[in-house]
């Protein structure tokens, strides 16, 4: 199972291949994706990297979080699960029988 990292503060010139190359310094990389704007095809300045193990993911966070990459400071953290929060019933308002 891969361990997904959020990578913020990417230089806008960074490609997915370059992101993979950089994070491979911390261990095995399952995938690396720079998020692009659909309309322009330009980088949005963030992406995601999936590391092979939890240990490699933690090593990548320690190695790259706060580091400079081409004049921008990287923010590297474990990605939040897409399955949490959002949707579902919100409490509040009228409750009970109608």
Average pLDDT of span 73-92? 68
In CATH, what number is assigned to the domain containing residue 41? 3.30.70.330
Note down the domain range covering 7.
3-69
Tell whether 83 is covered by a domain: no
Tell whether 93 is covered by a domain: no
Tell whether 59 is covered by a domain: yes
Sheet architecture: strand order including 43-51:
29-36, 43-51, 3-8, 75-78
Tell whether 61 is covered by a domain: yes
**Structure confidence at residue 2 (pLDDT):** 72
The total number of structural domains in the chain stands at: 1
Average pLDDT of span 14-41? 96
The pTM of the full predicted model, rounded to 2 decimals, is 0.79
Strand 43-51 vs strand 72-73: parallel, antiparallel, or unpaired?
Answer: unpaired
Tell whether 97 is covered by a domain: no
pLDDT tens profile 31-70: 999 999 999 999 999 999 999 999 999 999 999 999 999 9
Tell whether 84 is covered by a domain: no
Read off the pLDDT band of 89 (50, 70, 90).
Answer: very low
């Amino acid at each position: 199972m891969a361990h997904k990292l959020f990578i913020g503060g990417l230089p806008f010139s960074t490609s997915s291949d370059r992101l993979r190359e950089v994070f491979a310094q911390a261990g095995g990389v399952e995938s690396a994706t720079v998020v692009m704007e659909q309309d322009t095809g330009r980088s949005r300045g963030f992406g995601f990297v999936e590391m092979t193990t939890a240990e490699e993911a933690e090593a990548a966070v320690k190695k790259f979080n706060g580091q400079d990459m081409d004049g921008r400071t990287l923010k590297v953290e474990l990605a939040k699960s897409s399955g949490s929060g959002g949707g579902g019933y919100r409490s509040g308002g009228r409750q009970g029988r109608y």
